[in-house]
Amino acid sequence: MSIRYLEKERIFWLDTPNTTYLLGIVAQEGFLGHLYYGKKLEDVTGAETLLRTSEPPYVPEKNDRDRSSFFDAFPFEYASHGVGDFRESSLKIRTGRGHEAVSLVYLKHEIRRGKGKLSGLPATFGTESDVTTLLITCVDPVTKIEAELSYSTFERVDAIARSVRIKNGSADPVWVEKVMSACLDMEGKEFDVLSLHGSWARERQMERKPLGHGIYSVGSLRGESSHQEHPFLGILSKNADQTSGEVYGFHFVYSGNFLAQAQRNQFGQVRVQMGIHPEAFSWKLASGESFQAPEVILTYSAEGLGGMSRSLHDLYLNHLIRSPWLHQKRPVLINNWEATYFDFTAEKILDIARESAKLGIEMLVLDDGWFGNRFDDNRSLGDWWVNEEKLRGGLGKLVSEINALGMKFGLWFEPEMISPESRLYEEHPDWAIQIPGRRACRARNQFVLDVSRGDVRDYILRQMFAVLHSANVEYVKWDMNRPLSDLGSADLPADRQGELSHRYVLGMYEMQERLLAEFPNLLLENCSGGGGRFDPGMLYFSPQIWCSDDTDAIERLGIQEGTALLYPLSCMGAHVSVCPNHTVGRTTPFSTRGMTALAGTFGYELDVTKLSEEDKAAVPKQIRAYHAYSDLIREGVYYRIASARETRDYDCFQVTDRGGRKSLVFFTQVLATPNMKSRCIPLQGLKKDAKYRIWQVNLDKEQMLTDTGKVASGAVLMNAGMILERPWGDFQGRLLYLEEI
């Protein structure tokens, strides 16, 4: 088994294919301490000395006069609160008497094959043959609070899934006011910290900085994982790059408020924690009740950031995404949003569909504006019935006509929102999240529905199901366009109002689960004003997420780089749009736009009837390339070669099949520079003894492949590099295809 308990040493030994994780029980009281996480160990003899219990201040039974010194330095596996450890704690409980101190000690453990579900939450999964789970129950002898720490290891992936379940073993109610899902104490090394920050239209920008003394944290209080910060933290050795150095990755499988932090203390020790953000969170537990915290994914790579990326990609593809579309080619779609915004009729949509079908586009997605009295973004959210003033004859007629063209049909919803000007709000103003007597904060002139309430969820789903059953809708884009504020629920008692943010996320998860149960073959794409809820929790429900509302090909290089750091390319919604770009006003070549979108789900966001003849003629050629290489992009292995964020003038990445036989190289010259030679690009993931022929892929010519006449060995391509004559001019892309001969 990949998890063992060494009874004599009182050590738990967890292995993945290339890593080892060790924790142990110490002292008479049974404190649980972290020993090691890193490269795989074949022998752990002497590992117990890593806990330093044989040196001052010693364990409490040997030196109880310095108990605080022990608590303040011991590498706790799950950190206590209020009893002498003055670092950030993992768990905070408030009793009926107002006390908050808690100190957990080992009670029992169980090792089992497989992995159980987390009640109401998305989580990784696996069978008894490919996952092993360790459950350690700890207890606070004073408050009778129990914490069940869960660790799951994967036979073929270098990742560990951690979560915590808190149980109230006392006779009286308590309030959980902080619960981290994972805590990791590490020996003091000089680390850098890597995070992903951003805003609307510039999500997931990579930022790296030294980890000094004190606390570095990222988090969200927006009710969603957010555009601004991402539920990820990387802890990197100073020498770490894409191919070498140590990298610890922490990723939260959750779609609401989160906190991720790294703390370097007075001794240089580093504590990393991740969980639900404790601000605006409180959960009442009656006697015998439990609270399940979401899951955190831990991964360690000794092969730099690239090793971390590939482990997370493999984990999500094999143990998180459940959709029947996971390994299927996604239909090439066209979305009408940037083509028409709210100004459309059925005939306009059919015009777009007719022209799209001629060019080989396979699905039309009708975005915002098809329902209620929705002629702009000021009204009608919550009124989910078809506006037949726009769609004369109804949705069924429109979809039938689009299907007759050989195209599929998809539809946009924003189920979690309600407009003040809507029939739903007139009838149920108490269904909006708000605080009585306080002027509610609007965003995009809309409020948020209280989907923590079962009656609200039932109503919205009935409306959605009626629409979806009325026509052959094969795709749904589920959007969310504003954060949560004014947290108040008319349905929760005063002592449970602190539960609203988490209950909201649980309610949203339930809605998506019920949607997929009703329509099991539906292709669901999640969205939140672009990439505001692009997180592992949402991947559990949808195999793809709209990456960003910014469709500019050059801006997308950085957005998609930060996204691909953690997520498979097949998850990233990416479209070709018109120029000047609607977000940044930039003009880029149509072929570069196509190449950038190919590194995702691929589609179009434009009015195809208004394209120039040259661009229109290029659409079938781009679609031809998509069909030729979508399997490789979807199932292949991702390698980051160069980042425009660092080089300032060019960007490059590579996708290789898992046998190392075929590879695509994406290269973009962002800015032209004078007096420069051709680039020498070192590739990755090839077979060193194989020989490869190199073709250029043409996205705008009748002949898709041009033989460059070059043949090189994998060893030369990976060690010496591939000479690439740079494209001339700003924003020029080049796509190369390599195949073993």
- Residue from 590, 572, 702, 588 nearest 638 by CA: 572
Q: How far apart are CA 636 and CA 666, in angstroms?
A: 14
Question: Which residue matches tokens 């740079």?
Answer: 726
- Residue from 504, 559, 688 nearest 202 by CA: 559
- Alpha carbon 581 to chain centroid, angstroms: 26
In the Cβ-directed half-sphere of 122, how many Cα atoms lie within 13 Å?
28
**188 in Cβ contact with 267 (< 8 Å):** yes
Q: Is 479 a catalytic residue?
A: yes
HEC secondary structure over 605-662 = ECCHHHCCHHHHHHHHHHHHHHHHHHHHHHHCEEEEEECHHHHCCEEEEEEECCCCCE
Give the DSSP letter of residue 294: -
Q: Tell me, what amino acid is at 420?
A: P
**270 in Cβ contact with 185 (< 8 Å):** yes
Q: How far apart are CA 90 and CA 103, in angstroms?
A: 10
243, two tokens: 């191919």
Element (H, E) at 506: helix 500-518
**667 in Cβ contact with 724 (< 8 Å):** yes
Q: Tell me, what amino acid is at 133?
A: T
Q: How far apart are CA 566 and CA 561, in angstroms?
A: 9
Helix and strand totals (H; E) in the chain: 14, 39
**123 in Cβ contact with 143 (< 8 Å):** no
CA dist 296 → 387, 419, 420 (Å): 43, 35, 37
Q: Which residues contact 243 (CB under 8 A, 6 or more apart)?
A: 303, 304, 306, 684
Q: Tell me, what amino acid is at 384?
A: W
Cis peptide before 57 (omega within 30 of 0): yes
End-to-end CA distance of the chain: 41
Element (H, E) at 334: strand 333-335
Give the DSSP letter of residue 64: G
Q: Say which of 158, 314, 479, 651 is annotated catalytic.
A: 479
Give the DSSP letter of residue 509: H
| Cβ burial, residue 109 (10 Å; 0-12/13-18/19+) | middle
Give the DSSP letter of residue 416: T
Q: How far apart are CA 575 and CA 553, in angstroms?
A: 9
- Residue from 693, 669, 678, 705 nearest 596 by CA: 669
- Residue from 606, 595, 586 nearest 727 by CA: 595
**90 in Cβ contact with 79 (< 8 Å):** yes
Q: Say which of 549, 550, 615, 651 is annotated catalytic.
A: 549
Q: How far apart are CA 503 and CA 280, in angstroms?
A: 12
Catalytic residues: 479, 549
